[in-house]
Structure formats: C-alpha cells, structure tokens
C-alpha cells in the first residue's frame, strides 16, 4: 500500500509525489497530519489556518473522486507528527511513503530523521519553478543579487523548460469507483478566509482573466493599492494549492515569448515568479535564514532600541502617518496587505521607529493569509537593509511622498481611516496641521518626525 503524505502541496495538479504514487499502479491512500502547537510556534495566521482547512476539504473531495481514501490526523508538533506517521504506517501496512519536500529547516530536519527509519520514503520537489541548486554563479555558488539570478534563471528555463504534470484527476478516473472522504476540521484558532475563492475557481477564472485583461498593465498598476492590478495568487502559492509551474505554463501559453522579455515591462509579472524562486533558493542554500539571522553579518552588531510604544503604535495603525496606518488596518482586518504597502510599513518600522525587523516579520506572519517564511524573511530583510540584495540602509522611504504617489486620490486611506473622511485631499497624506487648525481630534498625532527619524536611522546604521 502506498501513502501520499500531503504537507505544503494541497493540490492534485502538478503534484509529483501524488503522480509517482499513482504511477506505481499499487493501491494508494493519503494523509494530512495537522500540528496546531507547531503552527503557533511558527506564528501561522488564523486566516491561513482556515484557508488551509478549506483547501484540504477540496483536496479530500478530489481524492475521493479518484477513489483515494484521505485521512486527517492531529498531533502537536513535528516530533509528534513523525511518530504519528510511523504509527499510522504500521497500522495500515504501508509499504512506501510519497511526499513533496519542504524548504524550511525544521521540516527538512524532520524528513531527514524519518529517512533513517525503517521505511521507504520518496521525496520530490514541487515548490519552485527551477530546481534549487540548478541556478548558480560562475563559482558554483548561489547568487546573492537578484538581477543576475533572474537572468540565469530565465536562461535555464528557456533551455530546460518542461510542462507541469497534468491534474491527477484526469488519469483513468472513469475506471475508478469514487468514495466520500470525511470532512476535515482543525482544532485551532481560525479566521474566516471565505472572501478568497478556492484554488480550482482561481485556476479556471481568476488566472485567465488576469492574463487576458490585467497583465499588460501590471508593471504600472501593481504599485497602486486601490487598483486590482495584481494576480492575488500568493496565498495559493504559499500553501501549495496552486503550482508555480502551472502559473508559468498558463503565462507562456498566452505569451510564449515572456521569458525573453523578463527584463522588459511586459515581463514584470514573470519577474515576481523569479523573486519567489530566488527567496526559496536562498532559504535552501543559507539555512541560517530559517533562524531569523541577518543575511549580512555586518549588521549583527546593531542594537535595536525596540521601543514598545512605537511597535505598538505601528501594530495598531496609530503612527500618525495615514498610509502606514491604513495599510496596517488592511492587514489586521483582512489578513492581506498590498505589496507596495508592505515595503512602506516595513521601512517605517525599521528605519523610522528603529524596531528590529524580526518583530515586524513575526507580526506579518501572525496575520497574513499568504505568510511564507522565505518571502516574508526576504522582504523584511530587504526593507531593513540587512538582507541579500537589500535596499541600502541610507534609502529611507518617505511615507508622505509614497502616500501621495501611490494613493494619489486618497481612496485607500479613506477606506481604512474613516477618521479622515472629511480632510481635503491636499492635506490628507499628513493632515496634522489641518486638523489642528480645525480643532479636530479624530486622528492621532505622528509618533515621530520624518526628518528626525531619517537622521537617527543614518546614525544608527553606521554602527553596523
């Protein structure tokens, strides 16, 4: 009997572990082992937990159509999960386990320990477009700067591109007797994720619509939070409900020359897929990133002031900078934040408030539906200037000019800060003088002056 162990690959499409198990022509069953205690230790957001649960139930239904029994078991952490898996295999007379690799360190250590058990395990790679280790520089090392990685990545793809695996449900299902698998319910804190459609709907409707109607303007629209100009695929990629290879295949089907244009405006969305691979390759090659250490050791000597008051104001969206506060409210209320806003609020926390980037990274993971260690760590270290291919420490986002540029009509700010609904547009992006003149106290004062903060940050980073 074969066992397919689903982890961070909640799909039947382009799933190499699932396909390999089916190809043996041996009976198969599938399992998912939830670890609520481990989730809490890894700061998994309640909305992401709900999102995973919904996709597991979709997966359960799809596997049932294929005649594959799907079992959900619960354990506390990875150690208990491993023992739970071994016990299950013994009870069910499992001969072989098929699973897709996970890039994070604790997960890799768990799998390494399991590989030493008296079990036959088959691991596959399913989370990246280009295999980790396949794109290296002239010295045979992982690139530390994105642009040359991207060029080598695109060149490698043009030379070696292979279409993703087909959906497993299309394989001889007419000859299979379907079954009904039980409903899966997690015993963990959850937040409703139903505003995000399931992955099968996204692949059938959202992706084609994006490629046909939004891709051409993506290079411009992606920076404006009030324009629905992005694909919205990050939550699905984060839990493996949609394959990055499938997304690339859909892009190339519509735009066959996209790989040639990766450095041009029309290739800007493909650029985002390259960034995703870049961060996952970094996590693979530099395991220290799993432990939230600075990529650039030069900054290990920085002693962040970490003001509890400034951190709390940032978390609550009460910094006095409307674009920052509106963005933080979007995060807490919806479990998502526009990428341009992620850069603005991360720069503000690290370079205006001088709060350690790790505290911001943690808060994001606790709230984001698309929380992903590699991308979240990469993004925060980029903003803080401590990472690989980072924003230089002396580049400090001005939240007022960023607000004027990317929310020019103030509609995003007004959506999340109704306190400012009556403030004229020309005053909206930093309304304190106007509010003082009009004796309005609906909005809170700025927690720090931008010019002062900028100078303090420049002095602070010289310690590194």
Q: What is the pLDDT along the chain (464 residues), one digit of tens a residue?
A: 999 999 999 999 999 999 999 999 999 999 999 999 999 999 999 999 999 999 999 999 999 999 999 999 999 988 899 999 999 999 999 999 999 999 998 899 999 999 888 889 999 999 999 999 999 999 999 999 999 999 999 999 999 999 999 888 765 555 678 889 999 999 999 999 999 999 999 999 999 999 988 988 898 899 999 998 889 999 999 999 999 999 999 999 988 888 887 767 668 899 999 999 999 999 999 999 999 999 999 999 899 999 999 999 999 999 999 999 999 999 999 999 999 999 999 999 999 999 999 999 999 999 999 999 999 999 999 999 998 887 777 889 999 999 999 999 999 999 999 999 999 999 999 999 999 888 877 899 999 999 999 999 999 998 86
Task: Please tell me the distance from the alpha carbon of residue 94 to that of residue 5, in angstroms, as a whole number.
Answer: 12
Task: Please tell me the distance from the alpha carbon of residue 406 to that of residue 404, in angstroms, as a whole number.
Answer: 6
CB atoms within 10 A of CB 253: 12
Task: Please tell me the distance from the alpha carbon of residue 361 to that of residue 356, in angstroms, as a whole number.
Answer: 9
Residue 284 backbone phi and psi in degrees, to 5: -70, -45
Q: In what order do the strands lie in the sheet with 2-5?
A: 70-74, 28-34, 2-5, 96-100, 120-124
In contact, 339 and 383? CB cutoff 8 Å = no
User: Which has the closest alpha carbon to 331: 62, 59, 47?
Assistant: 47
User: Which has the closest alpha carbon to 187: 30, 34, 370?
Assistant: 34
Task: Please tell me the distance from the alpha carbon of residue 70 to that of residue 311, in angstroms, as a whole number.
Answer: 44
In contact, 383 and 357? CB cutoff 8 Å = yes
Using alpha carbons only, what angle is made at residue 27 by residues 25 and 33, rounded to the nearest 5 degrees?
A: 125
User: Which has the closest alpha carbon to 289: 279, 304, 298?
Assistant: 279
HSE-CB at 345 with a 13 A cutoff on CA atoms is 31
Catalytic positions = 272, 275, 304, 339, 357, 380
Task: Please tell me the distance from the alpha carbon of residue 17 to that of residue 451, in angstroms, as a whole number.
Answer: 54
Residue entry with tokens 């694909």: 231
First to last CA, the chain: 56
Task: Please tell me the distance from the alpha carbon of residue 417 to that of residue 403, in angstroms, as a whole number.
Answer: 14
User: Which has the closest alpha carbon to 399: 294, 326, 463?
Assistant: 326
Residue entry with tokens 């994070």: 104
User: Per-residue pLDDT tens for 274-299?
Assistant: 999 999 999 999 999 999 999 999 99
List CB contacts of 461: < 8 A, sequence separation 6 or more: 299, 302, 385, 393, 394
Q: What is the DSSP letter of 169?
A: G
CB atoms within 10 A of CB 297: 11
Q: Is the pTM of this model over 0.85?
A: yes
Task: Please tell me the distance from the alpha carbon of residue 175 to that of residue 133, in angstroms, as a whole number.
Answer: 40
Domains of the chain: 2-124 (3.40.50.620), 134-163+201-285 (1.25.40.80), 297-461 (1.10.579.10)
Tokens of 100: 């897709």
In contact, 460 and 354? CB cutoff 8 Å = yes
In contact, 241 and 12? CB cutoff 8 Å = no
User: Per-residue pLDDT tens for 87-137?
Assistant: 999 999 999 999 999 999 889 999 999 988 888 999 999 999 999 999 999
Task: Please tell me the distance from the alpha carbon of residue 184 to that of residue 186, in angstroms, as a whole number.
Answer: 7
In contact, 23 and 96? CB cutoff 8 Å = no
Task: Please tell me the distance from the alpha carbon of residue 40 to that of residue 366, in angstroms, as a whole number.
Answer: 9
């Amino acid at each position: 009997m074969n066992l397919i162990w689903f982890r961070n690959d909640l799909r039947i499409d382009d799933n190499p572990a699932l396909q390999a198990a089916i190809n043996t022509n041996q009976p198969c069953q599938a399992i998912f082992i939830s670890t609520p205690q481990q989730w809490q230790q890894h700061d998994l957001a309640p909305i992401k937990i709900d999102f995973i649960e919904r996709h597991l139930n979709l997966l359960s239904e799809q596997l049932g159509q294929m005649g594959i029994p799907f079992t959900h078991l619960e354990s506390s952490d990875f150690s208990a999960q491993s023992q739970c898996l071994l016990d299950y295999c013994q009870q069910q007379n499992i001969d072989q386990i098929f699973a897709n690799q996970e890039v994070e360190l604790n997960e890799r250590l768990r799998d390494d320990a399991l590989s030493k058990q008296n079990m036959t395990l088959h691991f596959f790679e399913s989370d990246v477009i280009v295999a980790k280790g396949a794109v290296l520089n002239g010295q045979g090392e992982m690139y530390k700067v994105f642009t040359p990685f991207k060029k080598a990545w695109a060149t490698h793809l043009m030379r070696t591109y292979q279409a993703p695996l087909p959906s497993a449900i299309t394989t001889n299902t007419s000859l299979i007797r379907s079954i009904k698998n039980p409903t899966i319910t997690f015993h963990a804190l959850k937040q409703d994720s139903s505003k995000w459609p399931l992955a099968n709907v996204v692949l059938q409707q959202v992706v084609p619509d994006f490629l046909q109607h939004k891709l051409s303007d993506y290079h411009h629209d992606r920076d404006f939070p009030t324009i629905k100009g992005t694909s919205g695929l990050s939550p699905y990629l984060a839990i493996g409900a949609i394959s990055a290879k499938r997304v690339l295949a859909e892009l190339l089907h519509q735009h066959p020359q996209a790989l040639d244009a990766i450095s041009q405006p029309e290739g800007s969305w493909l650029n985002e897929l390259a960034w995703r691979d870049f961060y996952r390759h970094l996590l693979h090659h530099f395991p220290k990133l799993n432990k939230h250490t600075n990529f650039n050791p030069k900054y290990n000597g920085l002693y962040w002031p970490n003001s509890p008051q400034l951190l709390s104001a940032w978390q609550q969206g009460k910094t006095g900078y409307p674009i920052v506060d509106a963005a933080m409210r979007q995060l807490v209320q919806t479990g998502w934040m526009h990428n341009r806003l992620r850069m603005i609020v991360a720069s503000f926390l690290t370079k205006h408030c001088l709060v350690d980037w790790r505290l911001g990274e943690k808060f994001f993971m606790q709230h984001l539906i698309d929380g992903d260690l590699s991308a979240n760590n990469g993004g925060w270290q980029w903003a803080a200037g401590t990472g690989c291919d980072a924003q230089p420490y002396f580049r400090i986002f001005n939240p007022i000019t960023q607000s004027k540029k990317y929310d020019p009509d103030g509609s995003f700010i007004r959506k999340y800060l109704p306190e400012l609904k009556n403030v004229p547009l020309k005053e909206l992006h930093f309304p304190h003088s106007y509010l003082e003149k009009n004796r309005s106290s609906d909005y809170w004062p700025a927690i720090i002056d931008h010019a002062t903060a900028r100078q303090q940050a420049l002095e602070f980073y010289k310690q590194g």
